[in-house]
Structure 1
Amino acid sequence: MIENSNLPQFIISEVEPLLKLLKVYGMKKRDIEIYLRLLNSGGLTAKELSVMTGLPQSKVYESLSKLIEKGWVMKSSDRPSIFYPVNIAEVWNETKHEISKKMEEVETKVIPLLERASVGSPPLFRIFLLSEGKIQYYIEKVFSKASKEVLIAISHKEIINDEFFEKISSLKDKGAKIWMIITKGVYEFLKDKNIMVRENYKIADEMFGSGIISDEILLIFKNGNQLNALWSDHNYFVELGKIYFEHLWSH
């Protein structure tokens, strides 16, 4: 946040997370920087602050006015005026008090309004239609939710990347059982890539699409030249997918 400062680096790095909190208090990044410059120097003119920060004097005066209003800075009667920082402990105590007041206002005024505006309870389950760019993220998501077993059907070689079988191996190491059905085309693709399938697997002539089922379900299908997918955490769809997978496995 602050360049060319004599403040220790560990102090600067600790101040950074406060910026998000102080935004609630109406403070900007440059306001904090100017206050810390003053804290480090003891007292500066607006021109000196402008040179040190690289900000136009108009912006420096704007920040100084805000800091004075909030009780962070005092202004001398000298010409030119010298601006002094208020003790940091006093500033922080006052800031905590003001932020607490704002949070109480939100709690007493805004939250009840939002509760009354709420349509109802959140859904017990979700179903998402996914574009091709989101499929890999949801593959990882379904893998991460696996507790006892993972059922995998692959008819699209596009979903297989370097991490795909590494994730499967990791699940096996954690005790999950893996069952896999792949098409002949995918089998030949893996063979050409020298990728050995070490799971319980069967080869099918063809399949409607691809899918991964754990405690969630991801169904992947071709829509023209693009891959799309359906994801759900609804138990009904998960169980339905398992029944269909078992049908494919037994045939």
Structure 2
Amino acid sequence: MISQTIFEQLGFSKKETNIYLALLEMNSTTPSELSHKTGINRTSCYDILETLIKKGLIGKFKKRGKIYFHASDPKRLIQYLEREREEFDKKIISQQKAVEEILPELSSLIHPKNTSKPKVTFFEGEKGIREAYEDTLNAKETILAYANVETMHEGLPQFFPEYYKRRAKAGIHIKAIVPKNYLSQERSKHDREELRESIILEDLSLTFSPEVNIYNDKVLIASWKEKMAVLIESKEFAHLQKLIYQLIWNFIKK
């Protein structure tokens, strides 16, 4: 039996799901017959049928003075989702442009004293960590990172390959100190195209899970096991972390 949960995730109401599945089973039918089969009153059936037609999932035709409805090929569901994604993307792009237009005005509202005050922001869950990493794309200098490629890709498998491309496209370079494992060695093969300089720690005992990114006046710490991230905005703290990083980098490079 087909789970209705799948259709709920697609944005279908329970009645829309029942009518769509009934149409698939009945081939072609009238609203009256459909109402009898599903237990949904005929007026509601008409409204739902029109909604499904707009979604491109069913069709209708006239035969001997009666209107019949039929389900289209279920593959149309994929086409429907593609259209929904396109509309969603257009909406996001439009919203992004609107925000970009008012950013200067919003930035002007920040009190001068607030810009120099240290700030700590916490992010939780996969969505939160994604949001934290989006901030690194605002880096105005080379990002200094301690990173375990293996745990990063386990934590956000669909995010990082695309993130690397976006960072490189933005012209943001990165230095990375990484533990030795299969993924770090494979990823280092793409260092040039992804604007990255890697140092792989050959000693297998020197491994770690969290990632640290140091850039601008910020230090981002992401814990993959605990599914959280902390973004520290402090000129003094970031400066210290950059000094420590450079000492470690130079020592390993010797």
Question: Does the alignment reach a TM-score above 0.5?
Answer: no
| TM-score, with length taken from structure 2 | 0.41
Q: Give the number of the structure whose alpha-carbon radius of gyration is greater.
A: 1
| TM-score, with length taken from structure 1 | 0.42
